[in-house]
Structure 1
C-alpha cells in the first residue's frame, strides 16, 4: 500500500531529527508525522490515522498554509505562536509534492531562542534599574557634597551602609556578566588541584552565617571530615556557594538546609537540600538558562535576581566534566545534586 510505504520510509529517515515533519494528502488527511512533530503538537501515538490536519492540529494558520500550498502548488512559509501545553514559537514551511499531490510541512521550533530573547530583555530592564539606583544615589551625594550641603560625617553615618550594600550588588551583577561571557567564550582555564570539599563547605557556611542566623535557619551537615576531589578551587567555591546561597535565600525563616556528601567507588555526590518555596515543575528544565528567573513572586532579601547564578554553576560543572540534577516541589523544598566522577579522565582539559 502506497501510504504505508511512505510512512515506513519517512519513519526511518526522520525518527530522531530535531525538526517536525508532516505529510498531508490532497484530502487534508495527515498520513505521516515524525516524533518531533508529535512532540511539538502533543499528538498521541497511533491516533493520527484518518484524521484531518485541522482535527489533529487545531490551528487555522497551519491549515490555511496547507490549503494555499495545495491550491497554488507552490512553496509557502509562516511564523506563528502555537498554544499547546505551553506557548511555542514555530516556523512552518510548506512544500508541494507533485508526485502524489501531497504537502510536506517542515516545522522549526524557535521557542528556546525566543525565550532567551524575552529573558534577556527582562534582564536588561531589571539590570538597568538595579545599576541606575546606586549610581543615582552616588551622584546625588557627590552633588550635595560639592555644594557643601552635606558633610563627610553625614555621608558616613547616614548613607554609607546603604551605598556599600548597593555597590556590592552592582559589583556582583557586573562580575556575573563577565564570568558568564568568559565561560561562553571558552577562555576560562581550569587550575586543577586536589581540594577538600569538606573545608570549602564549612567556609561557605561560615560566610553565610549572618544570613542564616537572621532567618533562624537550621543547617544540617552530613559530610565526612575529608573528601578530596580534583578540581579548580576557585570555581568549586563558586559552584557550592551559589547553590547554598540560593537555599538560604529561598528558605523561609525557621526552615532547614541539609548539606551532605555520599561517596562510592565511582562518584562523589554532593547534595544541598532545603525546605524552601520550591520550583514549579514547568520551570525545572529551564532554571539553568541564562537570564531565566522562575517567578517574579520568588523574591528574596536582595530584591533582585540576575538569572545568571545557576547558569554559571551549570557551565562550571560541565567544564569540570561533572553533572548536576535538581528535584523540587512547590512549598516543599528543593534538592540539588552534583555528581563528581572519581576517575581523572572525567575532567576536561583546557
Structure 2
C-alpha cells in the first residue's frame, strides 16, 4: 500500500520515468494539473468547514469619534437561539459566526421562531467615555442590549433601548440604543426578535449625526407623505367634478397606500401623540390589508386606462389570482406570521410585473394612456428594486420604494390632469358649439317664425283681397246679370240688341275676372308649377293678339304685332300667355277710339324684351309707383268705354315674369300713352333634326291612356298619333286593371278623377301587383295638389292637361333615360 501511494504521488508530480510519446505526455500533464486543482479546492472547503466549527474570533472596531458614522456590520458575530430561552450570559457562551458564514447556514436572523444574537467589540483609545447611538436598521418586536462589565454580562435598562416609534421616518420599530463607550475595549451583545429575515446595516452614530439623520429622514418622510396626501385630495376633487371612474380608483390607490404607511409607521401616535388601539400582530395585519388594497385599486384604474373590458377575462383573472391568494393567507398569519409576511410581499409582486408587461404591450400598440402607465410603473418598479438592494446593504437614499410610488402618483396625476383638462376643453368646446348651434337654431327658428309671420300676413292680405274682390267686383256683375235675366223672363218680347250686348260683355268680363282671380289665388298658394320650355315668341304673341282683334275693332283701335319671327325664349308658355293677355287687355282698356296698341319685341344679349305700347291716357307718378304691388290696395280704374277690371292683372303678370327669370316695368306720361315691358330668357332655336329623331325614338311605343273626358281623349290621341305610338284608351280605373291583365304596355297615362275607380286607386292596385312600367299622372292638378291627394302612392311623372307634345317628350326622357331607337 505504501509503495502504491508513493507511486501515485510520484505520478502526479511527474517524477516517474516517462514511457509514452510526447503527445500523450502532454495530455497526462494536463490531467495531473486538473486533479491537483480539484484537490486544492476540496482542501479549502474542508478547512473552511473546520474553521466554522471553531470559535469565531471577531475583529475589534477601532472607535474614531471624529467620524459621524461607523459601520458595525463587518465586526459582528451572529448566533441563532432556536430555543428562544437563552439570556445574555448563556448566549455569550455559544459559538458566534461571521455574518457571511451565518447566512450560509441560516436563511434568516431574528424571526418570531428564533432570537437573533449579535455580538461586537469596540476599542475606545481615548481616556474618556464616548457617547454613541447604535442604530439597527430592521424591524424588531423585541430588542435587548447587553454589556460585558467587569467580567459579567449585564442587560441595559429598558430606558436605554429607544424604539424608532419616536421617529417614524426611520421605520416602524427600527431599534436604536444610546451607548456610552468606556475607555479601552468593551464587549456588547444585542438580542433581536423581528418579523423579517432581512439583515441590513448596523451602525454607530455620533449623537449630533444621528439627530441630523433623524431630522433629514423626518423632513423627507413628511414631504413624501404630504405629496401623497395632496395628490389624493386633488384627484378626489377632480373625480367630484368629472365623475371619472379612473380618478376614483386612482384616488383609492393613493389613500390605501397612505393608510398603509400611517398604520405601519404609527403616524398618529408618533407624530401627534394620539393614542392608538392597535399594535403588534393587529398592526401588522391591518397594514397588510391596506397594502393589498393598494394593489386592488391599482388593478382597477389600470384596467380602465388600458381598456381591459369584461371580455378579456383571462387578463383580469391573471391579476386577481395573486391578490386573492394573498388575501387567503390572512388566517395563516395568526399562526405563521413569517409565511404570511413572505406571501404578502411576494404574491403582489406578480401583479406589478403583470401590469407592467400589459402596459408595455398596449404601449407598443401606440396607446398614449398605456405609455404613461408604463412610465409610472417603471418608477414604482425601480423604487422597489432599490428597496430590495437597500435590504441587501446597498442603500443610496431613504425610502426608495415609497419615493418610487410617489413618483408614480405624480406622473399619473400629471397625465390624468392633462387628460382631464383636455376633456374639459373638449367639453367647453362642445358646449360652445352646442350653444352656437342652439343660437343658430334659435336664429333659424326666429327666421322661420318671421317668415311664417310674413307668410301668414301675406295669406291674410290675400284672403282679405280675395274676399274684397269677391264682395265687390264679382258680386256686382253677378247681381247685374241676375237683374237682366229677371227682366228677360218677365218681358221676353222686349229684349233689345243693346241688352243682349250688355249681357254678353258682362258675361265675358266676369269669365276673364274669374280666370284671373283663380290664377292669382293659385299663385299665392304656390299651386302653379313652372314648366319652362323653348318656344317661338312670334306665333304665341300673334295668337294672343288675335283674341283681342274683335274687341279692338269694336272700339276703333288699331292693334298690331311687329316683331322678329323665330325669336326663341325659354319660359312657361301658359304664364307668358297670361302676361300678354293682361297687358294687351289693359292697353286696349285705357286707349281711346282712334288710338293704337302695338306689341313688339327685340333680343339684346341673353334677354328678349317684349313691349306693349299704347296711345292711351297714360299714368301719373303716383299710379306708376302703386302698380305691381300687393301691399298697396289695387283699385280697378274705369276704361275709356267704362270697362271694369279686377286690379289683379298686373300683380299676376309680375309674379309670372319673376318666376320665369325676367323683369317687368312701365314707362308712361299722362295724355301721351304708356309702354309696358317685360323680359324673358333668350334661347337658341331647337334642332328640328333632333326633334324628328326624338319623335322617331318613341314611335311604336305601346301606351295605355285612362281618360273619361272625350275632348281630352281627342287631344291625347292627336299628340300620340303624331308620334306614332300604339294607344289604347279606357275611361275608368277598373278597365285599366283589366287591360293590364290581358296586355302589356310600355307606359300608362293615368287620369285622377274617373268614375267607378279613381286613378290613385288603380295605381295602388298596379303597384301591389308588381306592375313595372312607368305610370304618369295626366291631370289638371299640380304637383302639390297631387301629392296631397295621392298620399303614399307615387307616380313616375306628371303631365298637366291638355296633353302637349313637349311635355310628353320631357316625361318620356325622364321615364326611359336609357331607351334607344
* TM-score of the alignment, normalized to the shorter chain, above 0.5: yes
Count of paired positions: 230
Whether 1:168 and 2:521 are equivalent positions in the alignment is no
Question: Residues 274 and 333 of structure 1 are in contact (CA less than 8 Å); yes or no, is this contact kept in structure 2?
Answer: yes
Could you tell me how far apart the structure 2 residues matched to 1:216 and 1:139 are? 30
Whether 1:195 and 2:535 are equivalent positions in the alignment is yes
Could you tell me how far apart the structure 2 residues matched to 1:337 and 1:187 are? 26
Unaligned runs of 5+ in 1: 1-112, 345-349
In the other structure, the counterpart of 1:304 is 644
Question: Residues 634 and 648 of structure 2 are in contact (CA less than 8 Å); yes or no, is this contact kept in structure 1?
Answer: no
How do 1:115-194 residues align onto structure 2 when only pairs under 5 Å count? 127-140=470-483, 149-150=490-491, 160-194=500-534
Could you tell me how far apart the structure 1 residues matched to 2:655 and 2:570 are? 17
Could you tell me how far apart the structure 2 residues matched to 1:140 and 1:337 are? 40
Return the structure number with greater strand share: 1
Question: Residues 217 and 256 of structure 1 are in contact (CA less than 8 Å); yes or no, is this contact kept in structure 2?
Answer: yes
Could you tell me how far apart the structure 1 residues matched to 2:639 and 2:497 are? 29
SS at match of 2:608: strand
In the other structure, the counterpart of 2:594 is 254
Could you tell me how far apart the structure 2 residues matched to 1:137 and 1:336 are? 32
Question: Residues 616 and 672 of structure 2 are in contact (CA less than 8 Å); yes or no, is this contact kept in structure 1?
Answer: yes
Could you tell me how far apart the structure 1 residues matched to 2:556 and 2:563 are? 22
SS at match of 1:226: coil
SS at match of 1:222: strand
Question: Residues 533 and 570 of structure 2 are in contact (CA less than 8 Å); yes or no, is this contact kept in structure 1?
Answer: yes
Whether 1:281 and 2:621 are equivalent positions in the alignment is yes
Question: Residues 314 and 324 of structure 1 are in contact (CA less than 8 Å); yes or no, is this contact kept in structure 2?
Answer: yes
- State the shift of 1:248 in Å: 1.2
Question: Residues 269 and 338 of structure 1 are in contact (CA less than 8 Å); yes or no, is this contact kept in structure 2?
Answer: yes
CA root-mean-square deviation? 3.7
In the other structure, the counterpart of 2:654 is 314
In the other structure, the counterpart of 2:572 is 232
TM-score by length of 2: 0.25
Could you tell me how far apart the structure 2 residues matched to 1:312 and 1:256 are? 24
TM-score by length of 1: 0.55
Whether 1:214 and 2:554 are equivalent positions in the alignment is yes
- State the shift of 1:280 in Å: 0.6
Question: Residues 279 and 294 of structure 1 are in contact (CA less than 8 Å); yes or no, is this contact kept in structure 2?
Answer: no
Could you tell me how far apart the structure 1 residues matched to 2:553 and 2:603 are? 30
Question: Residues 568 and 682 of structure 2 are in contact (CA less than 8 Å); yes or no, is this contact kept in structure 1?
Answer: no
- 1:245/1:141 CA distance change after superposition, 3 Å: closer
SS at match of 1:288: coil
Question: Residues 327 and 336 of structure 1 are in contact (CA less than 8 Å); yes or no, is this contact kept in structure 2?
Answer: yes
Which is bigger in relative contact order (C-alpha 8 A, separation at least 6)? 1
Return the structure number with greater helix share: 2
Look at both structures and tell me which one has the larger radius of gyration over its CA atoms. 2
Whether 1:265 and 2:605 are equivalent positions in the alignment is yes
Tell me the alpha carbon deviations over residues 247-287 of structure 1, each in whole angstroms, 9 at most, x when there is no partner: 11111121222222111332111111111111111221221
Tell me the alpha carbon deviations over residues 153-177 of structure 1, each in whole angstroms, 9 at most, x when there is no partner: 7779785543343233223323222
Could you tell me how far apart the structure 2 residues matched to 1:234 and 1:295 are? 26
Tell me the alpha carbon deviations over residues 10-37 of structure 1, each in whole angstroms, 9 at most, x when there is no partner: xxxxxxxxxxxxxxxxxxxxxxxxxxxx
